[in-house]
Structure 1
Amino acid sequence: MTETATGLQEKKSDKELYSYQQGAINKIFEKFDTAADNYHLLYQLPTGGGKTVIFSEMVRQYLKNHKRKVLVLTHRVELCNQTSTMLTNFGVPNKVVNSKANLDDQDQYICFVAMVETLNNRLNDGKLDISDIGLVIIDEAHYNSFTKLFKFFENAFVLGVTATPLSSSKELPMKDNYDDLITGESIQSLIENEFLARAEVFQYDMGLTSLEVGSNGDYTVKSSEDLYTSPAMLDKTLQAYLKHSKGKKALIFNNGINTSIQIYYTFKAAGLPVMHLDNTATKKQRKQILKWFKETPDAILSSVSILTTGFDEPTIDTIILNRATKSLTLYYQMIGRGSRILNNKSSFKVIDLGNNYHRFGPWGADLDWQMIFKSPNFYMERLQNDEDIESNFRHEMPEEIRVQFEKSEEVYFDIKEVYIDATYKGESSKVVLERSIEQHGKICIENSEDVYDALGLAKLLDEDIDYRIQSYAKCISRSTFNFLKWLKDDYKLKLNSYLRQNFDEVFEEINGFPPED
């Protein structure tokens, strides 16, 4: 590369920017040219839209036309190195300010790339001269850790870039740190123009009321692990993969290291090619695992948050959300890992095991980012809580059990609807379970030759009975463990009793003739 008079070099790559990327740069520079020196601007663009490309070209143009320096901030080592490489490719010599960096030659550079904590330490130690910084770019700007550095850049134009301009903290809304927001292309537009792949979502209705919310506003690791490491849940995750993505490359997101490890053992026991990765892995281990993941066509990687940013692997076919989150940003980041296009890949699968689709809506929905930026609490307060989400679920009998009741046209029974109807008529709430038992009894008899067959089928209804008991308990506002256990045991006894007492009569009513002796 040849060096110019400004210290910039010729770009290694002659790749042209897309029209929407150049349009974003023009809008940002228009604001830059008219705003005060200390203006804070936020730019939103979906994951995969090329934020790093956009701000790298911005840095190049800024340094070409201004005599002040640039600082780019990231929150992770991987992003720091990737950003440095991209800037170099755009002809911008830059110095990475990490814990081992020798700053004796800092006068020779017009662009610096640094992580938050490292920079904060260097600035507090007075080891980095930032007096001539005119432009500060903050990658993944929704992270609150950046705000403590703003005091050092009172005379610089600050540009924050993010896919989701929503802070995870109610106490630190982004509108308090940024003066304005410019929104980029929508996910839907990027999909239609073949810049991103389309998500095909498989949503599982999950019971999440046992989850607890921590001080950070999201579900705690402990309560998540209690739920997601249960044998039933581990099997559900495995079966969901086998049903929708068997033989396909999948990335699994978990909330908790133990959950991820248990997923690893579950998939491994099923004979599937799987690895586990979390933040305790060494750089060498991480590199080896990611190399294996890239090169193995049907690889399954179980992870814990570590791959939500700074990780691009276009060969991913399936994203499994084996966790629930209250963070819109995390929801978009996780799904975005599968959205990179590659050759003939125009779509990817998302298996949602955390009611996240119900909570936030489809990935790529037409969100009003300006409203979210200006009124984040209004947006968050409108999100449904778990109880409201689950109240709208319609329990579906598992396919392997449903085939045992193939003679029945309908096996569903709406506890809530029957309860409302009974209450309206002034009846006792007990009639709800009586009618449920009668309906369960009918479908057992419909699919049996004798009472013993019917009693055998009743044993398959355990999950269905669980759901009905839970729904009934919510209707009458009683949900202690002992009460639910008593209700379920009593229900089963009464169902068996109903079958023994009414089998002949119901069988004849259904079939038009009595059962054979």
Structure 2
Amino acid sequence: MAELAQELQEKKTDKELYSYQKGAIDKIFEKFDTAPDDYHLLYQLPTGGGKTVIFSEMVRQYLKHHNKKVLVMTHRVELCRQTSEMLTSFGVINKVVNSTANLDDQNDYVCFVAMVETLNNRLNDDMLDISDIGLVIIDEAHYNSFTKLFKFFEKSFILGVTATPLSSNKELPMKDNYNELITGESIENLIENEFLARAEVFQYDMGLTSLEVGSNGDYTVKSSEDLYSSPAMLDKLLQAYLKHSKDKKTLIFNNGINTSVHVYHTFRAAGLPVMHLDNTATKKQRKQILKWFKETPNAILTSVSILTTGFDEPTIDTIILNRATKSLTLYYQMIGRGSRILNNKTKFSVIDLGNNYYRFGPWGADLDWQTIFSSPKFYMERLVGDEEIEANFKHEMPEELRAEFSKSEDVYFDIKATYTDAVAMGESSKVVLERSIAHHAKICTENSEDVYDALALAKLLEGDIDQRIETYAKCISRSTYNFLSWLKDDYQKKLNSYLRQNFDDIFEEIHGYPPED
């Protein structure tokens, strides 16, 4: 092993590290030199910041100065291979410990790379000698599958690296497994210094109260597929793509294979270049699809979480979140896939169809990772719920309908504010709907020549009426199906009656003269 260490010391690497990466390595080694041998340190750096580059250089330097071995753990096969290749490019001779690896020659290596499940099997079978492992590096450390292996490395220094130091399991906080967190450069700093591209977000207001939360704390695949596979949602996705991302390379994230397949067929039927990828694809199929995606300028790839880690494609122009998530980590991972810079690329688009922006704030916001690490439950409890998010939506008419009311300066009516004011004045809640009807009658009249035109426009307002009634029902805490159905019918009848009785007066008030007979 001494001969190998000497060889590493003399071998040069063509990798040039950025100043912030060198600074991170200095900080970590300082902690390594002063902390106990069994210290557990967590290092945070945004996706695209070069975590693999940093820990590869760390391994190279560690092996030059220490007569012990290094183990790097990943949670996926692809990451295992990529990590091994990166270490090799740094001059680190390493062995990948996979299910087919022959470990008879393990004494010839000073660095091992292993996937967590395979390593667990090899350790439990006593197939791998770990008595001389001084440094253990854990990539994507927020995944909890690694913690079961900590018992094997009670005398080793453990370095976990992650973009988001928030555990994937709220019951197993990272602070219980790591002594300290060191934070790296912020996303904003990396953008300002042209290491990452800036996200331009197009946010859609989505009704998500039908989604159910599973035992893992995130929305279930079934409830997500029920919602996102519906014709209305598929059409909304397609229209959002056509408006903001047509002819741009686009990566779509879904929660469920069936949804992704529906997305594929929807886009294909529209004559668009699209492929679907999920974890059931063979290695050959995956390779072919990703090659096509890389080489096709306007390619659209619809996927199911499989590309959230270990996938770097700088040519991506748009990320579409065709799903909702309660996972801050997943939110950052998905958007991060579009943040790689390339040539003149300084920004990329994000189309959010899951209220994720409202839930977590902007990607790259100045999050206090130290507080999130030390008090994860406090952070999670403060996340805004779906009902609260949707209560603050400002309903907007669809563009086609808005065109029918082009002569009206403002077609929005704030039911919630009107209700709050009415209650404050001691008025009956019924006045809210009366004032809403008067407003609808006004915009119908503004865009009509006679009462018959106004009544025809009133028929087009069904969706707008539904939205106002549903908001009103929440205000008064009455939302049974029968009550809502009756209220909507009653509203439409009263609007028609109001127009017939008051059209001439409203018209004259607006124009200063009566309508022609």
Q: Does the 8 A contact of 1:12 with 1:89 survive in 2?
A: no
Q: Report matched runs for 1:216-365 at 5 Å.
A: 216-365=216-365
Greater Cα shift, 12-21 or 361-370: 12-21
Please name the residue that 2:17 is paired with: 17
> 1:160 — aligned with what?
160
Who is 1:452 aligned against?
A: 452
2:462 and 2:6 mapped to 1: Cα distance?
74
Counting only pairs closer than 5 Å after superposition, residues 31-110 of structure 1 correspond to structure 2 as 31-110=31-110
Structure 2 gap segments, 5+ residues each: none
Can you list the C-alpha shifts for 1:344-393, whole angstroms capped at 9, x where unaligned? 00000011111111111111111111111111111111111111111211
- Following TM superposition, by how much is the alpha carbon of 1:168 offset from its aligned partner in structure 2, in angstroms? 2.5
AA of the residue aligned to 1:491:
Y
The answer to whether structure 1 residue 143 and structure 2 residue 149 are counterparts is no
Q: Does 1:134 align with 2:131?
A: no
Partner of 2:514: 514
Aligned residues of 1:60 and 1:90 also touching (Cα < 8 A)? yes
SS in 1 for 2:261: helix
For residues 215-253 of structure 1, the C-alpha deviation after alignment (integer angstroms, 9 at most, x for no partner) is 000111111112112222111111111111111011011
Q: Which residue of 2 aligns with 1:477?
A: 477
Is this contact kept in 2: 1:38–1:156, CA < 8 A?
Answer: yes
Q: Which runs of 4+ in 1 moved over 6 A?
A: none
Structure 1: 5+ residue runs without aligned partners?
Answer: none
SS at match of 1:159: strand
| Overall identity of the aligned pairs, in % | 84
* Equivalent residue, structure 2, for 1:423: 423
CA contact (8 A) 2:5 2:64 kept: no
Secondary structure of the residue that 1:479 maps to in structure 2? coil
Note the C-alpha offset of 1:10.
Answer: 6.5
- Deviation at residue 14 of structure 1 after TM alignment: 1.0
Give, in whole Å, the separation in 1 of the partners of 2:397 and 2:18.
49
* CA shift for structure 1 position 513: 2.5
Which residue number in structure 2 is paired with residue 438 of structure 1? 438
Q: 2:492 is paired with a residue of what secondary structure? A: helix
Q: 2: CA distance between counterparts of 1:12 and 1:480?
A: 72
Q: Which moved more, 1:418-427 or 1:144-153?
A: 418-427
Shift of 1:450: 2.0
State the SS of the aligned residue for 1:92.
coil
Q: CA deviation at 1:6?
A: 3.3
Contact 1:78 1:310 in 2 (8 A): yes
Does structure 2 conserve the Cα–Cα contact (< 8 Å) formed by 1:9 and 1:93? no
Stretch moving more, 5-14 or 180-189: 5-14
The answer as to whether partners of 2:446 and 2:507 remain within 8 angstroms in 1 is yes
Question: Displacement of 1:4 after TM fit?
Answer: 5.6
Query: What are the superposed Cα offsets for residues 89-121 of structure 1, whole Å, 9 maximum, x if unpaired?
Result: 010111111111111111111111111111101
C-alpha change, 1:5 and 1:509, in structure 2 (3 Å) is: closer
The CA distance in 2 between the partners of 1:122 and 1:411, in whole Å, is: 67
Evaluate the alpha carbon distance shift between residue 11 and residue 412 of structure 1 in structure 2; reply closer, same or farther with a 3 A threshold: farther
**Given that residues 324 and 355 in structure 1 are in contact (C-alpha distance below 8 angstroms), is that contact kept between their aligned partners in structure 2?**
yes
- Report whether the alignment pairs 1:385 with 2:359: no
Query: Does the 8 A contact of 2:228 with 2:323 survive in 1?
Result: yes
| Contact 2:142/2:174 (8 A) holds in 1 | yes
* SS at structure 2 position matched to 1:165: coil
Q: How much does 1:13 deviate?
A: 4.8
> Are the counterparts in 2 of residues 277 and 304 from structure 1 also a CA contact under 8 Å?
yes
* Distance 1:93-1:309 versus aligned 2 partners, 3 A rule: same
* Structure 1 CA distance for aligned equivalents of residues 456 and 435 of structure 2: 20
Q: 1:457 to 1:12 in 2, by over 3 A?
A: farther
- Distance in 1 between the 2:439 and 2:30 partners? 68
SS at match of 1:171: coil
Matched residue type, 1:80:
C
TM-score (norm 2): 0.97
Equivalent-residue separation in structure 2 for 1:308 and 1:488 (angstroms): 43
TM-score by length of 1: 0.97
Give 1:5 shift: 5.1
Residue pair 1:166, 1:372 contacting (<8 A) in 2 also: yes
Amino acid aligned to 1:465: I
Deviation at residue 11 of structure 1 after TM alignment: 5.8
3-state DSSP of counterpart to 2:478: coil
| Aligned counterpart, 1:197 | 197
Q: Distance in 2 between matches of 1:489 and 1:253?
A: 39
Counterpart of 2:329, as a letter, is T
Q: Given the superposition, is the C-alpha separation of residues 24 and 240 from structure 1 closer, same or farther in structure 2, using an over 3 Å criterion?
A: same
CA contact (8 A) 1:10 1:90 kept: no
Q: 1:432 to 1:10 in 2, by over 3 A?
A: farther
Q: CA–CA distance in 2 between the matches of 1:325 and 1:266?
A: 23
Alpha-carbon distance in 1 for matches of 2:455, 2:133: 78
Matching residue of 1:504: 504
